[in-house]
Amino acid sequence: MGTHDQASRTLATDPAGWRFDNSYARLPEVFFSRLRPVPVREPRMVLLNRPLAEFLGLNGEILSVQDGAAVFSGNRLPVGAEPIAQAYGGHQFGYFTMLGDGRAILLGEQITPRGERFDIQFKGSGQTPYSRRGDGRAALGPMLREYIISEAMHALGVPTTRALAVVTTGEPVVRETELAGAILTRVASSHIRVGTFEYLAARDAAEHVRTLAAYTLRRHYPELEPSDNPPLALLRAVMERQAALVAKWMLVGFVHGVMNTDNMALSGETIDYGPCAFMDAYDPATVFSSIDQQGRYAYGNQSRIAQWNLARFAETLAPVLDESREKAVDLANEVLESFPDVYRDHWLTGMRAKLGMITSEEDDAALVQDLLTHMHRNRLDYTNTLRDLAADHPERLPLFQDQAFAEWLKRWQARLKRQPESSGAMPSVRERMRAANPAVIPRNHRVEEALKAAVDHGDLRVTHRLLDVLAQPYAEPIDSDYRLPPPPSAGAYKTFCGT
């Protein structure tokens, strides 16, 4: 990520270490609205991500006290902040609407000690011009949920926005019941979305689309700025990052749950952890979101939806890809049609790593698919099955005693024997597999346990224990219960949007 004009600017700082250089706020004002967060009654710190604060160049000691709660609630703006609500549109479950930050405010862009640039955004900070009759607020449970899951994704090695802090506001929010209000501070490489381009295209503002495309290239893909056709280079780069991102989701069993185009960040990071969850028993049709009645965003549909979203992005770029509409469509389609192969390459490479394969053979895809079919047929836990394959003698585990699975094990073990192994120059097969297969994920029942303790009883100890375990997902947890799927009595798990 480039510093984006940082060298020509003197950055204001304050004692907490904020160093803002707000390049997005220097774009045309059609892109956003300027406003301050709505003050809250009694902000209190709930969680502060000290390692992330240190990475950003912030002083965790100062931010951990009441002064930090005032900042993370929006009651006090740090030096250099230029709060804005971003405008964007989006296809929600296939239907386009004009949107925008209805309960979020971009505080500014923090420049880290390494010269990297990150958005600092409040979520739940009050009404904006885009609130559409909403209250602009958020409840504690969903904000803690985003904190837990986004930090777990980061530890798993999945590109993601991250959580810097959660504060309570001292004010209730009303959903089905009255809930404790809270604000999440989110950190992202940027909040530029497919929906941001859709917003401008819907206003028939090709010059602004061109401006945003140039800005996005400069901020996220500076090496592509000299391209013969920069907007086309941007489309291809975003396609490649999205293919890699969704493959990583699939590899860890993550179901985003609401892959609307306003939730596709052009930086290639996972954004917006509303109805998301992790799959237990392997099933491509897995859906957790209570509002996804047709399974549009099911686990097995995620790559197809990513390609659909990219097509909407390509449509916004068409006027600036080429003067000829026909030529522009041909250029865009060439990129879009390559998505399935790019995605499959990323996914298959990841599955090879999970199965200890360091070479490539023609039948690898069939071997992987046969494993998944067996897991689906027998409702085997996705994460634990793959992790257990990394045991020293998986054939001795009860899980693998099924005759059909025993045959698969023989094929897989024969496959491993055909590849070269260098004694001492590279990790053993089992070590490689354990490095590619997490022992723990944010099990849905564990996340709910933490949220219930925090929200209902004000007890954050369960959350802290869970965060500690999730911070090292590839290590065997001291408490093996964190590896267990939910008991059969738990029933079907449902997630809900936090608005």
For the segment 480-485, the average pLDDT, to the nearest whole number, is 95
Out of 262, 272, 280, 381, which one is annotated catalytic?
A: 262
Residue 398 binned pLDDT confidence (cut-offs 50, 70, 90): confident
List pLDDT tens digits, range 333-350.
Answer: 999 999 999 999 999 999
* Longest pairwise C-alpha distance within the chain: 69
**pLDDT at residue 498 tops 60:** no
List Cα–Cα distances, 207 to 85, 204, 317, 386, 405, in angstroms: 21, 9, 11, 50, 58
**C-alpha of 213 from chain center:** 22
Residue 262 a catalytic site member:
yes
What's the confidence (pLDDT) of residue 1?
A: 41
Whole-number percent of the chain with pLDDT over 70: 95
CA 181 to chain centre: 23
> Which residues neighbour 398 within 8 Å (Cβ) at sequence distance 6 or greater?
none
* Residue in 363, 364, 397, 365 with CA at minimum distance from that of residue 380: 397
pLDDT at 6: 42
pLDDT-wise least confident of 107-121, 344-358, 399-413:
399-413
pTM of the model: 0.95
What value does the mean pLDDT take over residues 99-120? 96
Q: What is the mean pLDDT of the chain?
A: 93
Q: What is the pLDDT of residue 8?
A: 44
The pair of three-digit structure tokens given for residue 108, joined into one six-digit string: 């500014």
Pairwise CA distance, residues 497 & 499, whole Å:
6
For tokens 């907007």, the residue is 231
- 3-state helix, strand, coil split of the chain in percent (to 5) is 45, 15, 40
User: Which of 347-356, 374-383, 417-426 is least confident?
Assistant: 417-426
